Structure 1
Amino acid sequence: MSCLILIGMMGAGKTTVGKELARRRRMRFADCDQAIVARTGVSIPTIFELEGEAGFRRRETQMIDELTREPDLVLATGGGVVVTPLNRELMRERGIVIYLDVPTQVLFERTRHDRNRPLLQVENPRQRIEELHRARDPLYRETAHIILAGGRGNPCNMVRQIEEALARYKADTCRP
């Protein structure tokens, strides 16, 4: 089975939904950001502070390259993974990419108190989320094989939607 890759904005539920999806499909789960933290021994905000966003993105690409080579894996990515063209290419070629498209208001509600998100440590985080979503949404859509509206319901409901979409996707790609 191919790698299943969840993309979307920070706070879209990629990790929560990904863990449930992996459990239900008896696959391994990995979170790209958590894998970077485990490898470096420091937090994402620390990497941003020491190396800037460019340094973090280089590490992210290395991790995406490694993780997308693994079979039977559900991979939750960081929200900005799509800003790097090579990441988009690797994910699209090596897995089935699922975009969890969540309204910006829901994203703000989920992330507004989270101090581990360097890109939201600004005066107006709601505006920042809207700006990031405007910039990244076309890239998510370009990269995804499957696009699902998220933000409503519980993780089990989202997993059911993903499984239904995967069945439709596989049926469509198997047709001559």
Structure 2
Amino acid sequence: MALSLRKTVVMVGMMGAGKTAIGRAVAEELDVPFLDSDEEIVRAAQMEISEIFERDGEGFFRDRETEVITRLLEEAPCILSTGGGAFLSPRNRDVISEKGVSVWLNADLELLWSRVRHKDTRPLLRTADPKATLTELWQARVPHYQQADLAVESHENYSISDMAERVILNLKKRSDVLGHKQENENG
């Protein structure tokens, strides 16, 4: 029996946690759309996030981020990946909790470092000591991520498919989020 997504699932966590890769796999498994809030902001603004930060500042960007996340949560249920900083905002946490369900991909610092250390696509890590920067970000952000509705532990030996399966198993515990299509038709 096919599963039916009743609320948007919002993937939260640090850079390198796998929000996009695992989110895409979950979306494919559930046969629902996958969206990325950062991509939606870029599309709406017609400029890169780094350009928005430079031209208009972080406050302006965070306001647009909240607008986009709120809009996406009002549309048909999907899997939504957010930027690492999105869940730090109480406004975003509140609207996600009210209209969707948040899933924290909880990866430890060493796993995150192993995934991001050789990539130059992470502007926040373009510092003299990127591991120290990542450590500071991780320590500051984990208390916010711990407020997520669900948490799924990452391990280095888990594949994307393994993690997607673990996310879906956690979502199945929430009948308000994920159920069988027959249940939707009868109830």
TM over 0.5: yes
Structure number with the bigger relative contact order (C-alpha 8 A, sep ≥ 6) is 2
Residue in structure 2 matched with residue 116 of structure 1 by the alignment: 121
Residue in structure 2 matched with residue 15 of structure 1 by the alignment: 20
Residue in structure 1 matched with residue 80 of structure 2 by the alignment: 75
* Aligned partner of 1:145 among 141, 146, 149: 149
Name the stretch that deviates more: 40-49 or 122-131: 40-49
Q: Where in structure 1 do 4 or more consecutive aligned residues deviate above 4 Å? A: none
1:12-161 residue pairs with structure 2 within 5 A?
A: 12-142=17-147, 144-152=148-156, 153-161=158-166
User: Could you tell me how far apart the structure 2 residues matched to 1:109 and 1:49 are?
Assistant: 29
TM-fit CA distance, 1:106: 1.8
Aligned length: 170
User: Could you tell me how far apart the structure 2 residues matched to 1:147 and 1:169 are?
Assistant: 13
Asked if the contact 1:11/1:110 (under 8 Å) is kept, the reply is: yes
TM-score by length of 2: 0.85
Name the stretch that deviates more: 50-59 or 20-29: 50-59
Gaps of 5+ in 1: 172-176
Residue in structure 2 matched with residue 174 of structure 1 by the alignment: none
Asked if the contact 1:45/1:116 (under 8 Å) is kept, the reply is: no
Kindly, what percent of the aligned residue pairs are identical? 34
Of structures 1 and 2, the larger Rg is shown by: 2
TM-score by length of 1: 0.90
TM-fit CA distance, 1:102: 0.7
Q: Which amino acid aligns with 1:30?
A: L
User: Could you tell me how far apart the structure 2 residues matched to 1:133 and 1:164 are?
Assistant: 26
TM-fit CA distance, 1:72: 2.0
Asked if the contact 1:22/1:74 (under 8 Å) is kept, the reply is: yes
CA displacement 1:33-65 (0-9 Å, x = unmatched): 111111122222222222232222122111111
Q: Which amino acid aligns with 1:148?
A: V
Q: Which structure shows the bigger proportion of residues in helix conformation? A: 1
